[in-house]
Amino acid sequence: MPRTLGEIVARFGGELKGDPQRPVTGLATLENAGPDQLSFLANPKYRRQLATTRAGAVILSAEAAPECPCDAIVTPQPYLYFARVSQWLAEVPRPAPGIHPSAVVESAVPASAAIGPLAWIGPEVTLGENCVIGAHCRIGAGAAIGDDSWLYPGVTVYHGCRIGRRAIIHSGVVIGADGFGFAQDGAAWVKIAQSGRVVIGDDVEIGANTTIDRGALEDTVIEEGVKLDNQIQIAHNVRIGRDTAIAGCVGIAGSTKIGARCTIGGAAMIIGHLTLADGVHVSAGTFVGKSLPTAGHYTGTVPLQVHAEWLKNFAHLRHLDALTDKIRALEKRLAELENPR
């Protein structure tokens, strides 16, 4: 349903420069927006596109407003403003409450819940008000899911796990599978029972095909406000602090503790039994092999090179200690020559 610029500003604030009756049917980039769409400028590298945009209006800062050729919404944080507007304009209608005839429900559920086709809700499950459980979801015995949570089709929640209010969990997510715990008996492996749970706080979003393993003895804990991208692996007994955001394909090994308000870039790897302080920011592709007790930005990537050049440089790195010893010996010899006794 189209909205007007006036309605958007009335709801989210900001300063409107232009026609409050201008209709807005959706959002688009500066490059591709049309006259009935709202765009935004947050990254300075796209500023050159502002002059030629065909957008009906642009969300931008006061600094960029004089260059805008169309209507504008001026705000100190254009990207945050865009995020809030995007939620409002793209709001997905919730399914009507009720239980699909093909679903298997072994627990009492609120009348406000929507249970999709072929879903299974096991015994002694606690389901909050206004939950959406999509088609083919599987909720194990004794699990609990808070009010207003939405599980998209194909989510699996193992027995005993806890999910807070307003969770958004996308298709293919598995919560509470066994952690990777084995003891070696000669050449064989003996499984360690994974008797903990996964406990997830309020307002957590989990992307498609992410897996969160249950704890071995204690719980795996995802605190309030955490945002997880697609295809992340979180091992047993990990704890992730509130409002931390983790990008796709990250792997976090067992018993690692990640603080609050951290960011972990895509494909970063974090080994087990480490502690990352609050406010740690890890760049994409970084290997974290030690604890990071101080807030800050950490990068451990090597720039891309032609393979032959990489082999040559790596060969030099292998001899770095020996080269360092030689340089120290030369420095000592030079000092003796410059200052003879």
Q: Which two tokens stand for residue 316?
A: 């030099």
Provide the 10 A C-beta neighbour count for residue 201.
19
Phi and psi angles of residue 258, each rounded to the nearest 5 degrees, phi first? -110, 130
Q: At what angle do helices 307-318 and 320-338 cross, to 10 degrees?
A: 60
Asked whether the beta carbons of 263 and 241 are under 8 A apart, the reply is no
Place of tokens 């992410």: 210
- Give which of 257, 259, 293, 261 is closest to 272, Cα–Cα: 257
Active site residues: 236
Read off the DSSP letter of residue 217: S
SS3 label, residue 267: coil
Residues 6+ away with beta carbon under 8 Å from 222? 198, 199, 200, 201, 204, 212, 228, 234, 240
Read off the DSSP letter of residue 112: T
Read off the DSSP letter of residue 178: P
Beta bridge partners, 104, equal 120
Provide the 10 A C-beta neighbour count for residue 296.
9
* Alpha-carbon distance values, 112 to 108, 130, 133 (Å): 12, 5, 11
Asked whether the beta carbons of 20 and 5 are under 8 A apart, the reply is yes
Give the Cα separation of 163 and 198 in Å (integer): 8
Give the Cα separation of 121 and 261 in Å (integer): 34
